[in-house]
Chain A
Amino acid sequence: MIHSLFLINHLGDIFLEKHWKSVISRSVCDYFFEAREKAVDPENVPPVLQTPHHYLISIYRGKLFFLSVIQTEVPPLFVIEFLHRVADTFQDYFGGCSESVISDNVVIVYELLEEMLDNGFPLATESNVLKEMIRPPNILRSVVNTLTGGSNVGETLPQGQLSNIPWRRAGVKYTNNEAYFDVTEEIDAIVDKSGTTVSAEIQGVIEACVKLSGMPDLTMSFMNPRLLDDVSFHPCVRFRRWESERILSFIPPDGNFTLMTYHISSQNLVAIPVYVKQSISFFEAGSCGRLDITIGPKQTMGKTVEDLKVTVHMPKAVLNANLTASQGNYTYDFTTKLLVWDIGKLNPQKLPNLRGSLSMQTGVPNPEENPSLNIDLKIQQLAISGLKVSRLDMYGETYKPFKGVKYVTKAGKFQVRT
């Protein structure tokens, strides 16, 4: 199925290759480089390319291309999902997925790729299983290893692979038994010039960190489970129970894992936490423009908006920006044409405002398109959809665990058109 994998950085250098069947020469990537050249922007390279003898399927993650070479017809969704799984695993192991991180851990990367795919077929991709076979690097362990000559490879067979519950290892023991859940919601929205919402949806995820001894059986119930219509669970969740009672019942994996993800796409349920008043105009004469942006709270449910940040991709003709911010500070990078205004906390009594003039290149026609504003924000202790966990119960073990739920709302792809 998957013949070879090439990792390529954004400059177009192949810095890692792995072949599961016979070795395929690097020259196959030339077709990819050609398309990369044509696309100008690395993001615009089409994910599927056809060459005379192979298909090239690639994903672009964190300025890296994961390029797989395939010889026969395959389900594209399958390959794309797998490549993302590889990238996720690297992220999970090394805390990042950049060229330097991968080159530093090249040996573990090879080991992981070897375990994840055999003869081109996916083998072990569950992070818990992999972590028992190949331990993730950390500073303490690498110090210990250099002193004692120990290794990153687990000496024993992962227990989970033979147990009835493949995601949980047997014989877990903790002195402090604790279970924490983070409910994170991201708002993806497009708001148009007049302030009406063009499209809006919420991408939610519940991340869990469960450190409980033995074989606990947990149930989690929500105050308002009807909100959730489009959900996807970790394999440990009993789906029947959810369908009939809208309760999450599961034996958790040990450690960190993603319990569920959900979308809320019906627009009337999606609250937009801030409003933006802006005017950006470019004058025909005098080669300059004006910019005026004000942000205020809209539907914040009484919580404070933090880490507020506005990013504007300016048109090419804008040379410099001469602005004053009533709160926070701004930077304009004239090579990337990126205006970033870092506001911080939103104070409803005194609305932050950024205004001033833009200097433009002379002799260039006015940009026909006004730039759009990307907004970043964070609201602690609030899930903007109104989702709330009502209780968490544990069965199967006798001790009393420490439990906690944290909510946070962030802006995902939040965009205001001008």
Chain B
Amino acid sequence: MPYLGGEETVRELRRALSNPNVQSDPLRYRNTILKVIRTMSQGVDVSGLFSEMVKACATVDVVQKKLVYVFLCSYATLNPELSLLVINTLRKDCQDPNPMVRSLALRNMTNLRLPSLVEYVEQPLTAGLRDRAACVRRVAVLGWAKLHNLQPSSEIDAAVVNELYSLLRDPDPVVMVNCLRALEEILKEEGGVTINKPITHHLLNRLKECDIWGQCEVLRVLQRYRPQSEDELFDILSLLDSFLVSPHPPVMAATLSLFLSVSSNLPAISLAALERVSGPLLAACGSGSREMRFAAVCHIQLLLRSVPGLLGTHYKRFFCGYAEPAYIKERKMQVLVELVNDENVAMILDELKGYCTDVNTDTAQAAISAIGRIGRSYSDRCLQILTGLLGLKQDHITSAVVQTMRDLVWVCPQCSDTVCLALEGCEETLQDIQGRQALLWLLGVYGERISSAPYTLEVLIDRVRSEASLGIKMELLTATMRLFLCRPAETQDMLGRLLHYCIEEETDMCVRDQALLYYRLLHCGIEKTREVLQGRRSDPSLGVLIGRPAKPVSQWARCFNTLEPLSQGAVEAESNSRGSPEHVTYSPKPNADLSDTLSCSHIEEVHSGAEKIEEVDCAWIEECVRCPAVLHCSPQSLQAAMQLVNIQTLAFTPQHMLPWRVYLYTHTQLRVSEDGQEEEEGIKVILNQQPKDDDALRQFLTILITVLNTLSSKKD
């Protein structure tokens, strides 16, 4: 709408502006200019009025000046020649006795952003640095940064840089902070402003005088400083202590960031700082602004990585309100999952159950998958809730529940009985692709225990012609093959039909190739097929360790108080809830790039990696380590010992089983995951490393052997 009738308006405005009667009446003149600005803000192109506006600039009325400057700054780049006319007025204004007019002129002179005008601007800017009014100095200092941006190639005079450095000691705190900002921009090539001991101490001492924006800026710049001695470090930290509990979240976050960066090699201090900051962060989680709440919750997620138990008692603060936006609810649920412990699990599950029926489907599905995550430690209660949800017969809920069950069954095979019972009859409500895929996978793997499995598949096979999704067809093929292996009598006929359709009529290459592969596989005999299709399943006796291991602070310290936690967590959650890469690896697709899938997998997927040892020896290296003494220490002490050298124990088989197996994982700059098989006379270590690095591998093995040796010698 605003774009209509633009030309007519511009013509009218021009007539009014050049009317001498209007020009002689200051009030009418100003109102006309006001109209120009209004039209401009509506998106109409009024650049044609440039020359008239330049004339209007020569006035004593400050308001009119301001208005004209707003106009000129927006259109100067289109009319560089005409802008030259303004410079004269601006330079005259720089001599005005009123500091307000001086700063206004100076600011707008630099805001014109015309390279051709630089030579006229430099002199007033230099004078501005020495002005007696602080507000002029503030503008002048930043003006130099703007000049530099205008011509990044040309060097700013060294004398100016020196002057800026000396202005860091200006009595006005804003001038000081602006100097920092300007120097950061001008000296970007050299890595920003030099932070040495005198400058640091000067800045720290004046931190109290700055406004909160200034404090954030100073704290950010100081992150580059490395204290020379421990005493100095502690002096700095105690000075900053009060800022750590600042009621302004930006200041608090900036201070913590600085704390973490200067005390990076003193983990105890970092942890103490995290504890101290948890109060203000929690307060920010209850802030009135939802964006602030969101940012605070995201940062709490970071904190929890290192101190999982930090906020266990405050879990109620992460309960979602009815009217909260979906993105906050999703994050809060992720935090709740982290905070679960024996005392609060009932409360949290009750609360999450309430969210499962949320109007917003995304929130509902996130809640369901959160329950699934808790199910890894408290499977009975969670399965009860999930089964109950199936009774609602809502398609988005059923889909999420089936997907969650699939993920859960993979980690906790002991749940499979309940899941199999629950699955009956839910195929009617399932609509979306992912949900049906999950159902197919479950039917294939647990087909022998679900009585209706062949009939469900048969319906789908009859409809395969009208099926549009590639994923469903592939999953259907695999599921039918698997079911055939355990219930051949009921499935043989439909498998034949499906293979026939996929090979003869299907146009998609992937599906056709897979069907061909299965067909040929069947030719090789039933035993071979079984070997390929039913690779080892996750071991039901495998005890999964509860709780996530604490990661070192340094791992995330760098991204604290940046945009990363706000966006990255979402991606992580995505891959956790929806993607489920382990199942992709599991179905033996000839075209799947296995090593790629493995490299992007997270800790949980190491299990699935372990399944594939036989098939993917390219990714796994086998090493035999001779250990002099036979190990019969308790798994707990082994886990504790491994933790000391930053190796995480993921899971181990019960103690009496032979061969006794333990799954380890570690993360250096490189990623090494390891699966050790202990036998009577030594240990066989099977390793997977991404990317490959022999040095790190050798070091890892040495560490491992040392740990094992120490443990066994202690035993003796």
Sample of 8 further A-B pairs with CB below 8 A, known A190-B319, A415-B321: A75-B250, A81-B248, A81-B250, A119-B146, A151-B61, A157-B99, A188-B286, A368-B392
Query: Chain A residues with Cβ under 8 A from B27's Cβ?
Result: 146, 149
Q: Are A48 and B563 in contact (CB under 8 A)?
A: yes
Let me know if B319 and A199 touch, CB within 8 A: yes
Q: Quick check: is B385 within 8 A (CB to CB) of the other chain?
A: no
Are B113 and A107 touching (Cβ within 8 A)? no
Q: Are A77 and B37 in contact (CB under 8 A)?
A: no
From A58, A118, A369, contact of B359 by CB (8 A): A369
Q: Is A231 an interface residue (CB 8 A)?
A: yes
Cβ contacts A57-74/B at 8 Å (1 or 0 each): 011100000000000011
A-B residue pairs in contact (CB < 8 Å), sample of 30? A17-B41, A19-B74, A23-B74, A46-B570, A48-B566, A55-B563, A75-B220, A75-B257, A75-B561, A76-B562, A77-B299, A78-B250, A80-B289, A80-B292, A83-B291, A84-B289, A103-B41, A106-B37, A118-B142, A149-B27, A153-B66, A156-B100, A157-B99, A157-B133, A161-B135, A265-B317, A313-B322, A369-B359, A413-B323, A415-B323
Inter-chain CA distance A60–B253, complex, in Å, is 22
Binds B, one of A121-129, A208-216, A293-301: A121-129
Specify which chain B residues have a CB less than 8 angstroms from the CB of A190 in the assembled complex.
Answer: 319, 321
Write out, one digit per residue, whether chain B residues 200-219 have a CB within 8 A of any chain A CB (1) or not (0): 00000000000111001100
| Closest-CB distance, A45 to chain B (whole angstroms) | 8
- Residue B288 is within 8 A (CB to CB) of chain A in the complex: yes
Within 8 Å of chain A (Cβ to Cβ): is B139? yes
Q: Does B34 contact A (CB under 8 A)?
A: yes
Known A47-B294, A126-B211, A133-B100: A201·B289 in contact at CB below 8 Å: no
Q: Is B567 an interface residue (CB 8 A)?
A: yes
Q: Is B326 an interface residue (CB 8 A)?
A: yes
CA distance A83 to B290 in the complex (A): 12
Q: With A and B bound together, what is the CA distance between A22 and B98 in angstroms?
A: 29
1/0 per residue A130-143: CB within 8 Å of B? 00010000000000
> In the assembled complex, which residues on chain A have CB atoms less than 8 Å from the CB atom of B181?
119, 121
A314 and B149 CA atoms in complex are apart in Å by 55
Whole-angstrom distance between the Cβ of A265 and the nearest chain B Cβ? 7
Given A121-B142, A149-B26, residue A73 in contact with residue B563 (CB < 8 A): yes
Known: A106-B38, A126-B211, A265-B317. A75 touches B254 (CB 8 A): yes
Q: Which of B42-73 contact A (CB under 8 A)?
A: 42-43, 61-63, 66-67, 70
The chain B residue with its CB closest to the CB of A109 is B41
Residues on the A chain within 8 Å of B145, using CB:
119
Q: Given A15-B42, A81-B248, A155-B98: A368 and B321 within 8 A (CB)?
A: no
Q: Assess whether B279 is interfacial by the CB under 8 Å rule.
A: yes
Main secondary structure of the interface of A (DSSP, over half): mixed
What's the nearest-Cβ distance from chain B to residue A164, in Å? 10
Is B174 positioned at the interface, with any CB of A under 8 Å from its CB? yes
Chain B, range 549-572, C-beta contacts under 8 Å to A: 561-563, 566-567, 570
Tell me if B387 is interfacial: C-beta within 8 Å of chain A.
no
Min CB gap B9→A, angstroms: 16
- The verdict on A106 contacting B41 (CB below 8 Å), with A48-B563, A76-B295 known, is yes
> How many angstroms between the C-alpha atoms of A106 and B2 in the bound complex?
16
Is B643 an interface residue when CB atoms closer than 8 A count as contact? Answer: no
Please tell me if B327 contacts chain A, counting CB pairs below 8 Å. yes
B211 / chain A contacts, CB cutoff of 8 Å: 122, 125-126
A403 at the interface (CB under 8 A from B): no
Q: How far is the CA of A110 from the CA of B108 in the complex (A)?
A: 13
Asked whether B316 lies within 8 Å of A199 as measured between CB atoms, the reply is yes
The answer to the question of A330 belonging to the interface, with a C-beta cut-off of 8 Å to chain B, is no
> What's the least CB distance linking B182 to chain A, in Å?
8
Please, which residues of chain B bring their CB within 8 A of the CB of A123? 138, 174
- A121-B178 contact in complex given A84-B289, A157-B133, A230-B279, C-beta closer than 8 Å: yes
Q: Contacts A152-B63, A153-B63, A161-B135 hold; do A107 and B34 have CB atoms under 8 A apart?
A: yes
Counting CB contacts under 8 A, is B283 at the interface?
yes
**Residue-wise interface mask of A (100-112) relative to B, using a CB-CB cutoff of 8 A (1 in contact, 0 not):** 0001001100110
Contact of A151 among B62, B257, B563 (CB under 8 A): B62
Chain A residues whose CB sits within 8 angstroms of the CB of B38 once the complex forms: 106
In the complex, the chain A residue whose C-beta lies closest to that of B397 is A368
Query: Is A114 located at the chain interface by the 8 A CB criterion?
Result: yes
Is B358 close to A, CB under 8 A?
yes
Closest chain A residue, CB of each to CB of B562: A73
- In Å, the complex CA distance between A232 and B252 comes to 12
Check A81–B323 contact: CB distance below 8 A: no
Residue of A nearest to B394 (CB): A368
Interface size on A, residues (CB 8 A): 81
A161 to B317, CA, bound (A): 41
User: Assuming A106-B37, A118-B107, is B289 touching A76 (CB within 8 A)?
Assistant: no
User: Are A153 and B253 in contact, CB atoms less than 8 angstroms apart?
Assistant: no
Within 8 A of A (CB), among B87-108: 98-100, 107
B107 cross-chain contacts in A, Cβ below 8 A: 114, 118
Given A123-B138, A199-B316, residue A43 in contact with residue B283 (CB < 8 A)? no
Kindly state whether residue A50 has any CB partner on chain B within 8 Å: yes
List, in ascending order, chain B residues with CB within 8 A of A152's CB. 63
Residues of B within 8 A of A313 (CB): 322
Q: Is there a chain A Cβ closer than 8 Å to B702's Cβ?
A: no
Give the chain B neighbours of A188 by CB distance below 8 A.
Answer: 286, 321
On whether the beta carbons of A81 and B292 are closer than 8 Å, the reply is yes
Identify which of A14, A82, A263 contacts B43 (C-beta below 8 A): A14
Q: How far is the CB of B131 from chain A (nearest CB, A)?
A: 12
**Is the pair A199, B317 in contact by a Cβ cutoff of 8 Å?**
yes
Q: Which residue, B26, B70, B284, has most C-beta atoms of chain A within 10 A?
A: B70
User: Chain B residues with Cβ under 8 A from A50's Cβ?
Assistant: 563, 567
Residue pair A23, B77 in contact (C-beta under 8 Å): yes
Closest chain-B Cβ to A90's Cβ sits at a distance in Å of 15
**Quick check: is B492 within 8 A (CB to CB) of the other chain?**
no
Interface bits A366-394 vs B (CB < 8 Å: 1, else 0): 00110010100000000000000000000
B197 to chain A minimum Cβ distance, whole angstroms, is 25
Query: Closest chain A residue to B142 by CB distance?
Result: A119
A47-B291 in contact (CB<8A): yes
A172 interface hit (Cβ, 8 Å): no
What CA separation (Å) do A19 and B138 show in the bound complex? 19
Q: Check A44–B360 contact: CB distance below 8 A.
A: yes
Which B residues lie within 8 Å of A125 (CB)? 211, 213
Q: Which residues of A contact B283 (CB under 8 A)?
A: 230, 263
- Could you tell me which residues of chain B, from 276 to 326, have a CB within 8 Å of some CB in chain A? 279, 283-284, 286, 288-292, 294-296, 299, 316-317, 319, 321-323, 325-326
B142 close to A157 (CB less than 8 A): no
Residues of B within 8 A of A82 (CB): 213
Contact of B563 among A76, A118, A369 (CB under 8 A): A76
B62 contacts A78, C-beta separation under 8 Å = no
Point out the residues of chain A lying under 8 angstroms from B286, CB to CB. Answer: 188, 201, 203, 263, 265
8 Å CB interface, B226-284 against A: 242, 247-250, 253-254, 257, 279, 283-284
The distance in angstroms between the C-alpha atoms of A369 and B216, with both chains bound, is: 45
Residues of A within 8 A of B26 (CB): 149
Chain B residue at smallest Cβ distance from A189: B321
- CB of B86 closer than 8 Å to a CB of A: no
The 8 A CB mask of A73-99 against B (1 = contact, 0 = none) is 111111011111000000000000000
Are B354 and A43 in contact, CB atoms less than 8 angstroms apart?
Answer: no
B357 at the interface (CB under 8 A from A): yes
Contact A122 B213 (CB under 8 A): yes
A339 to B319, CA, bound (A): 25
Q: Are A107 and B67 in contact (CB under 8 A)?
A: yes
Decide yes or no whether B134 CB sits under 8 A from chain A: yes
The 10 closest A-B pairs by CB, nearest first: A232-B247, A122-B213, A151-B63, A78-B250, A47-B291, A369-B357, A77-B250, A43-B325, A48-B566, A44-B326
